[in-house]
Amino acid sequence: MTLPTDPTAADWFAVAREHLRDAEQLAMGHSWRNAYGLAGAAAECALKGRIMQHLGLNRWPTRQERRDLYSHGLVDLAKLAGLKPTLEAAVLNAEVVGLAWLVAKDFVINHRYPTQSAFPIKLGRDMVHAVGRDGLLEWLITGKT
Amino acid sequence: MADNGQDMTIDETKQAAGQAILELTDRFGFDALAAGWLYDRPTDTWRYLLVTQMLRSEGPRWIYDRLLRIFQRYHLPDGVSPLDIFVIDEATEMAAFGKPLFAVDQDRTIPGMRMFVTQPITVNEFVVTDGFVAFLRRVPVELRKNHRNPARRFDKTIQKLAA
């Protein structure tokens, strides 16, 4: 699935779920760098859908209109989606989704590019688990785990 | 402090908070290779970065699970949330701290933080942010091979905390 030119929140969520499915497939094949990148992208897409809902947007703004929305930074996107206080509470209450967010928030999109050093397996594994098994993606989309 | 016309300041509260976090993590054997506040100018946000070889050996979930247990027992300084703390790998360190990383002498970072501007450039595959970093510690790269991975000791002290 590709994202339409004028994506709705539902479109972002659909792409997010697809990215997670692909990330989990890649993780099963131990392709950790790519699994990490897609799991992070899944969280990013979910947050962009939540931003649309939070701000009551019926179309995704252009880069000229809202430069701040064109970010891969999950922390910045969570703030724009109005989720920071809830996430903070989940972390302080040591909820599974809170711990998952601590792991996911460090997502660096540029990790997807090959480097001289091997990609840290546990970084990839933890990212995929945080977004998938630990329920972060569903929490970001639905507010429930 | 100013650099290239850009304001580069960190108030005493934030300095003290950074130092307190470092001391707290040291007390539990985290033994960060580098630590400091990173200011991101475009978003006007501060991040507290801890550099450790444990990210590679144990993974972020293992680390955050233990850090969270510390922060639940011993509260973080006022104004600092666990969400402000970022654990990074040595391989990512240069991306976060930028080029000045190589010029920093650990002994001169405390007291009185050493501050360096970071510029929006790409180093290897990473984008370095526009802002600055205020170091609390940075073990020079050439001395790191003498540093044992602290994972076992860190884990042991956390287990004692739970007991």
pTM of the model: 0.88
Amino acid at A97: V
Q: What is each CA distance from A5 to A2, A11, A59, A121, in whole angstroms?
A: 9, 10, 9, 35
Beta carbons of A94 and B68 less than 8 Å apart: yes
- pLDDT at A2 (0 to 100): 79
- pLDDT at A116 (0 to 100): 61
Angle at which helix B60-73 crosses helix A96-104, to 10 degrees, equals: 120
In a domain, B141, yes or no: yes
Sheet holding B85-88, edge to edge: B85-88, B45-51, B34-40, B131-138, B114-118
Beta carbons of A110 and B125 less than 8 Å apart: yes
Q: Show residues of chain B in contact with A127, CB under 8 Å.
A: 60
Q: Show residues of chain B in contact with A111, CB under 8 Å.
A: 92
Alpha-carbon distance of A77 to B55, in angstroms, equals 24
Average pLDDT value for residue range B63-70: 96
In a domain, B144, yes or no: yes
Q: How many domains does chain B have?
A: 1
- List A residues 72-131 in contact with B (Cβ-Cβ < 8 A): 73, 75-76, 84, 87-88, 91-92, 94, 99, 101-103, 105-106, 108, 110-111, 113-115, 117, 120, 122-123, 125-127, 129-130
Choice among A53-62, A118-127, B73-82, B135-144 with the minimum mean pLDDT: B135-144
- pLDDT at B94 (0 to 100): 64
In a domain, B71, yes or no: yes
Beta carbons of B72 and A92 less than 8 Å apart: yes
In a domain, B1, yes or no: no
Q: Write out pLDDT tens, residues B8-38.
A: 678 889 989 999 999 999 999 999 998 988 8
Q: Write out pLDDT tens, residues B76-128.
A: 999 999 999 999 888 776 655 554 444 444 444 444 555 565 555 554 444 55
B48 to chain A nearest CA, in Å?
12
Q: With cut-offs at 50, 70 and 90, classify the pLDDT of residue B156.
A: very high
- Name which residue leads in pLDDT, A125 or A111: A125
Alpha-carbon distance of B136 to B152, in angstroms, equals 24
Q: Write out pLDDT tens, residues A96-107.
A: 999 999 999 999
Q: Show residues of chain B in contact with A88, CB under 8 Å.
A: 81-83
Q: Locate tokens 């946000």: which residue?
A: B45
Beta carbons of B116 and B132 less than 8 angstroms apart: yes
Choice among A23-27, A93-97, B41-45, B63-67 with the minimum mean pLDDT: B41-45
- pLDDT at B57 (0 to 100): 95
Question: B152 exposed, middle or buried (CB, 10 Å; 0-12, 13-18, 19+)?
Answer: exposed
In a domain, B4, yes or no: no
Mutation target among A77, A79, A102 for the B interface, most CBs of B within 10 A = A102
Alpha-carbon distance of A76 to A82, in angstroms, equals 10
In a domain, B5, yes or no: no
Query: How high is the mean pLDDT of chain A?
Result: 91
Q: Show residues of chain B in contact with A129, CB under 8 Å.
A: 61
CA A83 to chain centre: 13
Beta carbons of A106 and B83 less than 8 Å apart: no
Q: With cut-offs at 50, 70 and 90, classify the pLDDT of residue B162.
A: confident
For β-strands B85-88 and B45-51, DSSP reports them as parallel
Distance spanning both ends of chain A, measured CA to CA = 24
Nearest to B38 by CA among A118, A88, A73, A39: A73
Residues near B76 by beta carbon (within 8 Å), at least 6 away in sequence: B17, B21, B82
Helices (DSSP H) in chain B: which residue ranges?
12-27, 54-57, 60-73, 90-97, 151-162
- pLDDT at B2 (0 to 100): 40
Q: Write out pLDDT tens, residues A46-90.
A: 999 999 999 999 999 988 888 888 888 899 999 999 999 999 999
Task: Kindly compute the dihedral angle of the four CA atoms of residues A25, A26, A27, A29, in this order, to the nearest 10 degrees.
Answer: 100
Residues near A97 by beta carbon (within 8 Å), at least 6 away in sequence: A90, A134, A135, A136, A139, A145
- List A residues 20-59 in contact with B (Cβ-Cβ < 8 A): none
- pLDDT at B3 (0 to 100): 45
Domain containing B90 equals: 12-162
Beta carbons of B45 and A75 less than 8 Å apart: yes
Nearest to B8 by CA among B136, B132, B137: B132
- pLDDT at B154 (0 to 100): 97
- Rg of chain B in Å (alpha carbons): 15
